[in-house]
Amino acid sequence: MTDAVVQALHVPWQEATIERNERQTARVKGFFLRPQNWCSFRAGQHLDVRLTAPDGYQAQRSYSVASAPGLEGLYELAVERLEDGEVSPFFHDVAEVGDAIEIRGPFGGHFAWGSEDGGPLLLIGGGSGVAPLMSILRHRAAVGDTVPVVLLYAARTWDDVIFREELIARDATEAEFTLLLSLSRDTARRPQDAARRIDAPLLEVTLARLGATPRLTFVCGSNPFVEAVTGQLLDLGRSPETIRTERFGG
């Protein structure tokens, strides 16, 4: 049993009310939860969510917090609908504003960032794996940090890019932040974006855009995505000690 699991077992569950929700893409909704007892957290951490059926059956999943630590009182989760999931269909098909669910946390120490950790930063996300990276970006902006950051974000299509308008606005206005999109099933809408999966040449271009060796690299997405990207980063000479990963799914 890992230290993280032992830690979680000693944290009590509490109720959180769904205060509002926002449609992000056809398959992703953002849910803003107001817990009875709000706890501060570090950008990149996650919550455990538990649902209990009338017959007592329970389903539990972990979701990264997308909001910045400074958004006191609320946690924002980006929930992707999975057809064979036990928790995500409830959020998309059943949950309504005002409903209460059980949460505990936030948890996570390795996949987290604060200004004291410095930069430059390379952020690489696949699909809903962008959620904890959004927390890092939002926190960086909220505290006025200007460490160089490049976000390489992989999605199937332009319409599948979660937080798209916010990310593009940040790219246009925030100092030392660059957004690069990798669309595997669509054409690139912007000159700097790519119409293919993330590969070694694209990672080389991304590192060049950063303009310096990243102090830390954060990679979040499905298991296959994280395995492929981290392997390519290591082949490009990035040090394993500087790469932090968060993964989900089979």
What the block records as the tokens of 238 is 């990035």
In sequence order, what are the residues at sequence separation of 6 or more whose Cβ sits closer than 8 angstroms to the Cβ of residue 86?
Answer: 51, 59, 61
User: Tens digit of pLDDT for each residue in 134-184?
Assistant: 999 999 999 999 999 999 999 999 999 999 999 999 999 998 999 999 999
Instruction: Give me the numbers of helices (H) and strands (E) for the chain, helices first please.
Output: 6, 11
CATH architecture of 3-107: Beta Barrel (2.40)
Residue whose pair of structure tokens reads 């690299």 in the numeric block: 217
Identify the H or E element spanning 233.
Answer: helix 223-235
Q: Find, among 112, 147, 130, the residue nearest to 41 by Cα.
A: 112
The domain locations on the chain are 3-107, 115-248
CA–CA separation, 181 vs 187, rounded Å? 11
pLDDT over threshold 60, residue 6: no
C-alpha to C-alpha distance for 156 and 147, rounded to whole angstroms: 29
Total-model pTM: 0.93
Percent of the chain with pLDDT over 70: 96
Q: What percent of the chain has pLDDT over 90?
A: 86
Q: Give the per-residue pLDDT at 2.
A: 47
Architecture field, domain 115-248: 3-Layer(aba) Sandwich (3.40)
pLDDT in tens, 59-104: 999 999 999 997 778 999 999 999 888 899 999 999 999 999 999 9
Query: What is the distance between the alpha carbons of residues 29 and 3, in angstroms, rounded to a whole number?
Result: 31
Token pair in block for residue 127:
């699909």
